[in-house]
Amino acid sequence: MKEIEAQMKKKVEIHNPKHLKLETNSLIRKSLNILLIPILNLLPIKSRSLVKKSHKSVSDIVDNATTHKALEILYSNGNKHLVKKFYEKLSHTIWFNTNNSKGVRNRLKIVKNEIDTILKELIVNDSKDEINVVSIAAGSARAVLEALENNPTSKKVNITFVDKNQSALDYSVELLQTMKGINSDNYKYEWINDTVNGFLDKNSRKYSIVEMVGLMDYFDDEKAKRIFEKIHSSLEKSGQFITANINHNSEKKFVTKAIGWPMIYRSAEHIARLVHESGFSHLDMKVYYEPLKIHSIIVASKN
């Protein structure tokens, strides 16, 4: 196990291409974090009500922690139009510029870019007339939908969104209506209200792309491996699997206690090992962190 993780560690890179404009910390913010993060981590569970009162968007995140609703607020960097008073501006600056807030936005951009890159390759070079894509634990499905928006095609693209939360699926339907160019006859959408295991156990289709980002933050190693094995089986040859996991970080106590968002934290090499042990070769795997090292992202190809 240690040997495999050591091999994986050699593959890990910090991913920060200029065109993605990923968020990092200025020298001032780094200096501020030296004082701020220990204070945030000292906040007890009882402080959650005070945290909620500091800003409406933060209150909504706390109330909807672990769901697509909270992530959508983080993606949008909070509702700035609600910021009027000085303490609200200060609160917004603190909460939405934490490493975890920036990291989740970085993850979205990277995953979207990976899907975009794979789709372009499939559209231009793949001989098949149809492309099958599935987003598991899809949530708002923002990364997939925005990547599709960048890739008009004459090929037929079948996209399946799976989530156990019907409200998340309903939200993605609404989000699709705001997108341009991906409501044509070439795109066929399906929304399935099911758990990841329920869907994979019943699925018979082979996919070019399987995207599952964020779910492993809540599953232990054994459950994660079983799901990865099923995903490996659901991919066509040379199919691509995109996943991610939150990494151990200095804000963990604050996120868990004050925000009420407990997760299973893993290093990039740890989650990569689980993917490798599930049938994916480490030779056909990209493993990297977004620049703040809050999230690792893996892109694995089926041999």
Please give the pLDDT value at position 240: 98
Structure confidence at residue 38 as a pLDDT band (50, 70, 90)? very high
Q: Span 139-166, mean pLDDT? A: 92
All residues at 6 or more sequence positions from 5 whose CB lies less than 8 Å from its CB, including other chains: 267, 269, 270, 272, 273
Percent above pLDDT 90 for the chain: 81
Distances in whole angstroms, Cα of residue 130 to Cα of each of 145, 199, 303: 17, 21, 20
Q: Which fold has domain 103-301?
A: Rossmann fold (3.40.50)
- The reported pTM is 0.95
Average pLDDT for the chain: 93
Distances in whole angstroms, Cα of residue 150 to Cα of each of 44, 72, 129, 135, 298: 44, 20, 19, 17, 22
For residue 84, pLDDT over 70 is answered with no
Q: How far apart are CA 74 and CA 216, in angstroms?
A: 19
Q: pLDDT tens across 226-277, in order?
A: 999 999 999 999 999 999 999 999 999 999 999 999 999 999 999 999 999 9
Point out the least confidently predicted range of 135-144, 152-161, 231-240: 152-161
Q: pLDDT tens across 197-221, in order?
A: 999 999 999 999 999 999 999 999 9
For residue 79, pLDDT over 70 is answered with no
Q: pLDDT tens across 98-109, in order?
A: 999 999 999 999
Please give the pLDDT value at position 90: 83
Please give the backbone phi and psi of residue 133, each rounded to the nearest 5 degrees, phi first.
-130, 135
Distance of alpha carbon 161 from its chain centroid, rounded? 14
Start and end residues for every CATH 3.40.50.150 domain found in the chain: 103-301
Q: How far apart are CA 88 and CA 86, in angstroms?
A: 5
Please give the backbone phi and psi of residue 163, each rounded to the nearest 5 degrees, phi first.
-155, 145
